[in-house]
Amino acid sequence: MIYNLIKTVQQGDFLANEEAEAPPMEPYVAHKGEHWHRWIEGRPIQMLVVALVAVAIGGIIEMIPLATIESNIPKIASVKPYTPLELEGRDIYIREGCYNCHSQMIRPFRSETERYGEYSKSGEFIYDHPFQWGSKRTGPDLHRVGGKYPDSWHFNHMIEPVSISPGSIMPPYPWLAKNKLDTDYTASKIAVMRTLGVPYPSGYEDLALSDLQKQAKQIADNLRKDNIEMEGLEQKELIAMIAYLQRLGTDIKLNK
Ligand code: HEC
């Protein structure tokens, strides 16, 4: 092929400049019987603006009712807002970028439901601001991970994934067992969630911190039963993370 190419090139003559001619452009004049639409077709900028307006109107008509009419969002009676500790755990989940490797949405296919359990319903996410559906599954989907393992499993797995799951490529998160959970904003977070439509009872902010501590103590007690002990165990960020993970997908979990 290369030989052929060289031979072909050698046969040609070099032409430095080729004269070219074209008739001058004729100004566009509308002629009779032409479709009215032709006017806009010849004007790209105007066409762009008009198309944008048309698409925006379509989008608004579709989206506004979806977001504003309550009955469009299927509610499930057993789906409850996160507890304060779970809410804090969720924020750590977001901070650590767990969604980069884990999705939280089980699709309604046999291959998914066999592996993860009941497929996700839109009504299960109504208190998730922002949602954690994710699109990347380097690790498994976590939507139904709640209740799948004991608390101590998560504790050890988070500190050193390979110790629990040999060959795991999940990074370790040992600082979660060192950092003290920052609860300065817990009450404000409840208030913010309420403005987003999460039905916390009024005044719940004041109870949030004591609820958080109660739940943290339960988890810490569970860990102690499995011989996990460290100073200030109740106050670690990891406790909040465990609370969150154990809650995931349990609102409508079916007995399996
Ligand atoms: C680099 C990708 C990656 C990141 C980031 C990551 N994981 Fe994982 N995760 C995995 C992989 C792979 C597995 C499967 C192997 C294992 O169990 O460790 C897994 C497993 C898990 C499991 C067990 C799931 C099951 O059903 O067995 C949990 C729970 C989990 N990860 C939570 C988290 C949390 C919480 C974070 C953020 C702090 C996180 N992961 C960050 C890759 C990741």
Higher pLDDT, 184 or 31: 184
Q: What is the mean pLDDT of the chain?
A: 93
Place of tokens 């755990």: 89
For ligand 1, the distance from its centroid to the CA atom of residue 161, given in whole angstroms, is 8
pLDDT digit string, tens, across residues 4-25? 999 999 999 888 888 889 989 8
Residue of 101, 112, 158, 162 to test ligand 1 pocket, by largest number of atoms within 8 Å of CB: 101
Over its C-alpha atoms, the chain yields an Rg (Å, rounded) of: 30
Report CA-CA distances (Å) from 144 to 178, 228, 242, 256.
27, 25, 14, 12
Place of tokens 């307006």: 53
- The finding on whether 122 has its CB within 6 A of some atom of ligand 1 is no
Asked whether the predicted pLDDT for residue 197 surpasses 50, the reply is: yes
Asked whether the predicted pLDDT for residue 42 surpasses 80, the reply is: yes
| 205/209 Cα distance (integer angstroms) | 8
Asked whether the predicted pLDDT for residue 144 surpasses 50, the reply is: yes
Instruction: Tell which residue, 117, 85, 67, has the closest CA to residue 252.
Output: 117
Give the alpha-carbon dihedral of 57, 61, 64, 69, to 10 degrees.
Answer: 170
Residue 255: predicted pLDDT: 53
Query: How long a stretch of residues is the chain?
Result: 256
| 83/190 Cα distance (integer angstroms) | 9
- Over residues 104-124, the mean pLDDT reads 94
Residue 256: predicted pLDDT: 45
Residue 207: predicted pLDDT: 95
Please name the residues in contact with 232: beta carbons below 8 A apart, sequence gap of 6 or more: 180
Residues 212, 88: contact at Cβ < 8 Å? yes
- Over residues 158-185, the mean pLDDT reads 96
Residue 73: predicted pLDDT: 76
- The finding on whether 101 has its CB within 6 A of some atom of ligand 1 is yes
| 218/232 Cα distance (integer angstroms) | 14
Place 226 in a pLDDT band, splitting at 50, 70 and 90. Answer: very high
- The finding on whether 169 has its CB within 6 A of some atom of ligand 1 is yes
Residue 143: predicted pLDDT: 96
Which atom of ligand 1 is nearest the CA belonging to 161? 18
Give the alpha-carbon dihedral of 64, 68, 71, 75, to 10 degrees.
Answer: 110
Asked whether the predicted pLDDT for residue 96 surpasses 70, the reply is: yes
Q: If you take atom 7 of ligand 1, which residue's CA is the nearest one? A: 170
